[in-house]
Structure 1
Amino acid sequence: MLTYLQAAVIGLLQGVSELFPVSSLGHSVLVPAFIGGSWEHLVTESSTSTSETSPYLAFIVALHVATAVALLIFFRKDWIRIISGLLRTIKPSIRARRLVVTDPDERLAWLLIIATIPVGITGLLLEHSFRTLFAKPLAAAIFLTINGLILLAGERLRRNAPTDDTEIPAVPVGDHLEPAAAGRHTAAEPAADQVLRPARRLATLSYREAGVIGFFQTFALLAGISRSGITMVGGLARGLSHRDAARFSFLLATPIILAAGLLKLPGLAGPAGAGIGGQVLLGAVLAGLASYISIKFLTRYFETRTLMPFAIYSLVAGIICIIRFA
């Protein structure tokens, strides 16, 4: 039976780790297994071939819905513009028999749709197989370590990514980044390889690039690979700033998490949800609150900061867990 303490701990853990680039699925496997005792059965029952009737899996699904609701609330103004933009394109596109996009909101709507397709198809076909094969402590620890390497690679790729020449290059000033004055070149300026290359605007992504970023997200079906992290790396590789890569990642995660959760939420009405209604409610409330606070923090954090701390955490935690479960 899922206890209230377990529900509270896993709820808070889900709310934070779903949006921080450290893999919520990996942590929902590793933390109970690391604690052991009565917690360990939560992991074993959710990775079996009969896991669809698992109370823990049903509980995790409810937490995902709570996270998606928090994302919707935080980005509600963005989603109103995105949905309005999508609706504006439908009639002209049908009439012209081709996609007609006239402003950034309309383009962002279609970028999100295209980026959602790869993970949507893969999730429907392979989610159960991936979970039963790889949602085990040692596998999750290995993939969490790989997640750290992916985040490190993302920072390197950002320095060599395509740029938008309309942007003014940024030079490091203390702990922040400030635009360089146009035409100013002094001996005090940092070397070229220390200057962050100018970022592209989100609206300049091509539909093909959005599809590639969406394909990256399919690897998050592996416990230990972060959905937000790998999506951000995809954006950084195409020249987006950390801020825009994070925003695109959070917007892209919303329909995926919500759809996956709502698809499996009816399981709570069956045997899997019997006797854990209070625990589910507690965990969902805490997950939603933690998610909202995490989004608010991360949207500000990525205005001036990078993925490096999360990469180091993933590497250290992953290696420790590999040693623990090997």
Structure 2
Amino acid sequence: MSLTYLEMTVVGLVQGVSELFPVSSLGHSVLFPALIGGSWARDLDMSAPGSPYLDSLVAMHVATALALVICFWGDWVRIVGALISSVRDRRIVTVEQRLAWLLVVATVPVGVAGLALDKVMREYLSKPVPASLFLAVNGVVLFTVERLYRRQRAHRPVEVAAGAGGVEEHPGPSQHSEHGGSDDARLARLGWGEAIAIGACQILALLPGISRSGVTIAGGLLRGLSHRDAARFAFLLATPVIAAAGVLKIPELARPEMHGAIGPVAVGSLVAGVGAYFSARFLIRYFHTRTLTPFAIYCVIAGLGCLAYFSLA
């Protein structure tokens, strides 16, 4: 079993893009090689004992996290600085300090679950049929949440305020405004329980086919965030989680089985990082005016199609 430059380049592109698109990078990393078949299916079998493919994905995840840090560099400078000042002064006063602690507490559930369940999930469920099924489920979840979000907005209590440009709608106290204020201020209005609940949605992404960004954005929508704010919160949440998971497993890249794959993995990681950077920039603009529905449709069709293919094969 070996990894080639072509395999790692293609996988890097698939992983980097699908990590942030709400379509599941893990699911695509399982399904794509299986659909191609032949040496790709043998070389890129994540569930195989001692598979170098799983280690290569670890390196790609680190590259994805670095790309997110670069993409949101200004945000992370403010957030980390605010966290340090909050710890130093032992208080939470500013919007940035509150947002920093919201991200910290929201990361705890998936961190604990990841340490406990990650190996089991990947070894027993990282196969084409389960990944196909969960991809279809991911689409159903996204579509259902969009319907609930539209219904929520239709019944949202509204106060009318006269402004210089006309009439502005303000959500009731249990909701989060999509108008006015800084991005940080809108996210900082989340309650502690709300942030933890949104962060806990990432646990579902341990299932191959369930998208980390998709379920986190969905959780944000259900808590009243706009698509754009939910996506930004999801990407900020994903950065430390992806980075920590990758760093914890980096020692595995030193296994003897990986010695001949360092070059291909390095190329794949570079491609994954570039793909993740441009995906993040695109999606933040996309979710300013658009929804999860196209991704939901894709996941249902692709998931059911793959499930039929692998079940009958």
| TM more than 0.5 | yes
Alignment correspondent of 2:103: 112
Alignment correspondent of 1:78: 75
| Cα 1:258/1:167, change in 2 over 3 Å | farther
Q: Does 1:276 align with 2:261?
A: yes
Unaligned runs of 5+ in 1: 94-99, 169-179, 185-196
In the superposition, the TM-score normalised over structure 1's length comes to 0.86
Report the CA distance between 1:40 and its aligned residue. 1.0
What is the SS of the residue equivalent to 1:18?
Answer: helix
Aligned length: 295
Alignment correspondent of 1:39: 40
Q: Provide the rounded CA distance (Å) in 1 between the counterparts of 2:89 and 2:92.
A: 9
Does structure 1 conserve the Cα–Cα contact (< 8 Å) formed by 2:125 and 2:208? Answer: yes
Q: Does 1:157 align with 2:148?
A: yes
Report the CA distance between 1:315 and its aligned residue. 0.6
Alignment correspondent of 2:199: 214
Does structure 2 conserve the Cα–Cα contact (< 8 Å) formed by 1:161 and 1:238? Answer: no
Q: 1:64 corresponds to which letter in structure 2? A: H
Report the CA distance between 1:92 and its aligned residue. 3.2
What is the SS of the residue equivalent to 2:225?
Answer: coil
1:238 to 223, 229, 236: 223
Report the CA distance between 1:166 and its aligned residue. 7.5
Report the CA distance between 1:42 and its aligned residue. 3.6
Does structure 2 conserve the Cα–Cα contact (< 8 Å) formed by 1:158 and 1:238? Answer: no
Q: 1:106 corresponds to which letter in structure 2? A: Q
Report the CA distance between 1:198 and its aligned residue. 5.4
Q: 1:123 corresponds to which letter in structure 2? A: G
1:1-326 alignment runs, 5 A limit: 1-44=2-45, 46-48=46-48, 50=49, 53-93=50-90, 100-161=91-152, 181-182=166-167, 199=178, 201-326=186-311
Alignment correspondent of 2:183: none
Q: 1:82 corresponds to which letter in structure 2? A: I
Report the CA distance between 1:161 and its aligned residue. 4.2
Unaligned runs of 5+ in 2: 170-175, 180-185
| Cα 1:164/1:124, change in 2 over 3 Å | farther
Q: Provide the rounded CA distance (Å) in 2 between the counterparts of 1:22 and 1:166.
A: 36
What is the SS of the residue equivalent to 2:167?
Answer: coil
Report the CA distance between 1:199 and its aligned residue. 3.6
Report the CA distance between 1:272 and its aligned residue. 3.3
Does structure 2 conserve the Cα–Cα contact (< 8 Å) formed by 1:23 and 1:226? Answer: yes
Q: Deviations over 1:90-120 (max 9, x none)?
A: 1333xxxxxx321211111011111100000
Does structure 2 conserve the Cα–Cα contact (< 8 Å) formed by 1:72 and 1:254? Answer: yes
What is the SS of the residue equivalent to 1:182?
Answer: strand
Q: Provide the rounded CA distance (Å) in 2 between the counterparts of 1:137 and 1:164.
A: 45
Report the CA distance between 1:183 and its aligned residue. 7.5
In the superposition, the TM-score normalised over structure 2's length comes to 0.89
Coordinate RMSD, CA, aligned: 2.2
Identity percentage of aligned residues: 53
Q: 2:118 corresponds to which letter in structure 1? A: E
Q: Deviations over 1:20-76 (max 9, x none)?
A: 0000000000000011111112453x214x3xx321111111110110010000101
Does structure 1 conserve the Cα–Cα contact (< 8 Å) formed by 2:160 and 2:168? Answer: no
